[in-house]
């Protein structure tokens, strides 16, 4: 799909970060845009539309981690336009923390937002696109954290791996069913200067527990500080939207943005097929060797996320 003018784009998490960049690109291509965001970010969506130069723009407030809220979004779009041509599952959250101390509610928050929302929307949107029979696209923002793992962010890695697997399975299913009008892509970036480090400002009430000592602990405060640091020192966001749209136009499924993480992906894949064991020390040695063979500089640190 390379012609977008006049077509309908639905973008979640649209008010900032990648979402705002995708809105800009859709607007530049003359698309009619339905921008979706949670209550905490909803008020500024109209301002975002003006900044992005969108000619036709609608804003829908929704918590995409709830199925009934995703139904509301799809119903709004179909009532207004009767079609969906491009759907971007972009909304996402992230926290640092370990398996033994992170509250269960935070694991659910990750899975509901980063993974279940993709299920909810694709279950509803794909049948619509199949019935349309016209060229359509779905972009799921999955993160390179869906292709590799290290320490520090188990809830995030788990949710993003699930999102990647879901997208891959859906691509296989569409091929098996002979559906050739829908192109699925996954965007798997590393650290970029988005607003992912401000996930706490978007925490829905059902995941809040202000009396839980965990949220006053030094460990939690450190996790917020680490997330802030890696996002603020990530790659600039300028150019990301154009890069992703061009990749979609080329029909790419995997859209990576940080080649320095490719040695990590390859090293961990080698561990799988050679019955290896997860080891930070062993991984570092393998990554350095693969990076040297590839002639690129390998990523350092604990890993990388959207």
pLDDT tens digit string along 202-230?
999 999 999 999 999 999 999 999 999 99
211 falls within a domain: yes
Residue 300 confidence (pLDDT) = 62
Question: Phi/psi at 218 (nearest 5 deg)?
Answer: -65, -35
Neighbours of 2 (CB within 10 A): 11
**Position 61 confidence tier, pLDDT thresholds 50, 70, 90:** very high
Neighbours of 234 (CB within 10 A): 20
Residue 234 confidence (pLDDT) = 95
Give per-residue pLDDT as tens, 70-87: 999 999 999 999 999 999
Q: Could you tell me which residues are beta bridge partners of residue 8?
A: 32
pLDDT at 306 exceeding the cut of 60: no
Cα distances (Å, whole numbers) of residue 210 to 95, 205, 213, 286: 17, 10, 8, 43
Give per-residue pLDDT as tens, 238-295: 999 999 999 999 999 999 999 999 999 999 999 999 988 999 888 999 999 999 898 8
274 falls within a domain: no
Angle between helices 280-294 and 262-273 (to 10 degrees): 120
288 falls within a domain: no
Q: For residue 134, what are the domain limits?
A: 8-259
296 falls within a domain: no
- From the list 3, 12, 125, the residue with the least C-alpha distance to 74 is 125
Q: What is the chain's Cα-based Rg?
A: 19
Are 257 and 222 in contact, with CB atoms under 8 Å apart? Answer: no
Give per-residue pLDDT as tens, 168-206: 999 999 999 999 999 999 999 999 999 999 999 999 999
> How far is residue 94's CA from residue 113's CA, in Å, rounded to a whole number?
10
61 falls within a domain: yes
Residue 78 confidence (pLDDT) = 98
Residue 297 confidence (pLDDT) = 84
172 in active site: no
208 falls within a domain: yes
Residue 259 confidence (pLDDT) = 94
β-strands 56-61, 86-89 pairing: unpaired
69 falls within a domain: yes
**Position 50 confidence tier, pLDDT thresholds 50, 70, 90:** confident
179 falls within a domain: yes
Q: Token digits for 170?
A: 């859906």
Identify the residue with better confidence: 146 or 49: 146
* H or E segment to which residue 28 belongs: helix 17-28
Q: Is 239 exposed, middle or buried (0-12, 13-18, 19+ CB in 10 A)?
A: exposed
CATH of the domain at 180: 3.40.50.720
Q: What percent of the chain has pLDDT over 70?
A: 98
Give per-residue pLDDT as tens, 113-137: 999 999 999 999 999 999 999 999 9
Please identify which of the residues 4, 115, 120, 156 carries the catalytic annotation: 156
Domains: count for the chain: 1
């Amino acid at each position: 799909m390379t012609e977008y003018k006049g077509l309908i784009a639905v973008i979640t998490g649209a008010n900032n970060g990648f979402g705002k960049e995708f809105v800009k690109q859709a607007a530049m291509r003359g698309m009619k845009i339905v921008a979706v965001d949670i209550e905490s970010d909803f008020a500024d969506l109209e301002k975002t539309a003006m900044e992005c130069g969108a000619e036709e723009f609608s804003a829908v407030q929704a918590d995409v981690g709830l199925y009934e809220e995703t139904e509301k979004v799809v119903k709004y779009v179909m009532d207004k336009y009767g079609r969906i041509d491009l759907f971007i599952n972009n909304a996402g959250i992230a926290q640092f923390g370990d398996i033994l101390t992170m509250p269960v509610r935070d694991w659910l928050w990750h899975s509901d937002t980063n993974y279940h929302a993709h299920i909810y929307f694709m279950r509803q949107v794909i049948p619509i696109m199949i019935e349309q029979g016209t060229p359509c696209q779905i972009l799921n923002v999955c993160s390179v954290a869906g292709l590799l793992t290290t320490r520090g962010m188990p809830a995030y890695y788990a949710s993003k791996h699930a999102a990647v697997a879901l997208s891959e399975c859906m691509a296989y299913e569409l091929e098996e069913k002979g559906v050739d009008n829908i192109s699925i892509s996954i965007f798997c970036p590393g650290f970029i200067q988005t607003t992912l480090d401000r996930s706490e400002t978007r925490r829905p009430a059902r995941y809040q527990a202000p009396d839980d000592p965990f949220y006053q602990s030094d460990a939690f405060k450190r996790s917020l500080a680490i997330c802030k640091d890696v996002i603020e020192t990530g790659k600039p966001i300028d150019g990301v939207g154009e890069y992703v749209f061009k990749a979609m136009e080329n029909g790419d499924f995997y859209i990576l943005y940080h080649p320095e993480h490719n040695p990590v992906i390859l090293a961990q894949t080698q561990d799988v097929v050679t019955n290896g064991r997860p080891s930070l020390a062993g991984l570092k040695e393998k990554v350095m060797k693969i990076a040297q063979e590839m002639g690129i500089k390998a990523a350092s640190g604990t890993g990388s996320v959207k």
